[in-house]
Each structure stands twice: as C-alpha cells, then as structure tokens.
Amino acid sequence: MVGPFLEAFMGDLYRSILYFYQDNSLILSSIILAYGLFMFAAWNNLLRIYRFLIVEMAKDAHTSEELNRKKSNKKIRKIIGVPWEKAVEASPFPFIARIGALVPKRKTVENLQLLFDEKELADNVLKALQGARIKRMIPSTRKMLQRETDQREEKQAAKDNKQKE
C-alpha cells in the first residue's frame, strides 16, 4: 500500500532506479557488505599497527640503558625512534585506512608516517610505561585528517607552481 503511494511521488528516473535495485538487490547488497568488511579490516589494521608501535617502543624504552628514569618524549623519539618497517612487516593485512575514510591506502612506511604523529606515539609510550591500558589508546582521527589535508594542499600547490613555470 505504501509502495504505490511513494511511486506516485517519484519521477520516471527514480522509479527506474528503484526497480533496478529491487531486481538486483542481492548483488548490490553483497558488494556493499564486502566493501564494508574490507574497510573495517583496514581500519582495524591501522589500529593494530598503532598499538604494535606503542608496545615495541615501550619495550625498547624499558630495556634501553641509555634512557634513565627520566624518560621524556624527545629522548624516546631521539634514542629509540619509531620502528616503521617492523610494523609494516608484522601486520598481515596489506591496506590501512583512518577511521571514517572511504578509500584505503597501501600499507607502506610513508603512509604510516603520514597518518601517525611521532610525538603522539611517544606520549602514549610514556603513558604505557606508567601503566596505562594500551587497548584504550587510539590515534587521533582529527590529526590524521589534518595531515592528509595538508599533504593534499602541498601537492596541489606544487602542481600549481609547475604549471605557472
């Protein structure tokens, strides 16, 4: 009863789209579900890599003889560094995506460096060494989005400069 009432308000184009969807709903819904599962796996992969980096850096900071009891963010980043390659090798899924992203990226060191802030990682390492729960640590989505936007703007500015020359 509601179907014919709604169809009366739709134009020919929307009615044809509705009929197409009704005819092919299983295939279309399967594609959407597969995409959703793929993106969920990419989001989870990014979170696992983030936590892996925190654990690895915390282990290195804890066992390091160069770092004394007065561990600081700057010392951790300078002495230990971030094991980017180790994180790429440890993760089995080949794609990453920030939470809320619609397009995944390949899991490379460059993409991890774009998404993660070393200072934020070192801050979370200090928290982990003080007993904070690592399962509750997540990367800042706002900062990741800002870094992606800044990179896009830099690429566009470089492209515009090339065209001017």
pLDDT in tens, 110-149: 999 999 989 999 999 889 888 889 888 888 888 889 988 9
Condensed to tens digits (0 to 9), the pLDDT of residues 11-41 reads 888 888 888 999 999 999 999 999 999 999 9
Q: Is residue 47 part of a domain?
A: yes
Q: Is residue 162 part of a domain?
A: no
Number of neighbouring beta carbons within 10 Å of residue 53: 23
DSSP label of 105: E
Q: Are 57 and 49 in contact (CB under 8 A)?
A: no
Q: Is residue 160 part of a domain?
A: no
Q: Is residue 159 part of a domain?
A: no
Q: Is residue 23 part of a domain?
A: yes
How far apart are alpha carbons 151 and 112 in whole angstroms? 13
Q: Is residue 2 part of a domain?
A: no
- Which of 27, 47, 46 lies closest to 135, judged by CA? 47
Residue numbers of the domain that contains 18: 11-152
Q: Is residue 94 part of a domain?
A: yes
Number of domains in the chain: 1
Q: Is residue 161 part of a domain?
A: no
pTM (2 decimals)? 0.81
Condensed to tens digits (0 to 9), the pLDDT of residues 64-122 reads 878 776 777 788 888 888 999 999 999 999 999 998 899 999 999 999 999 998 999 99
pLDDT at 14: 86
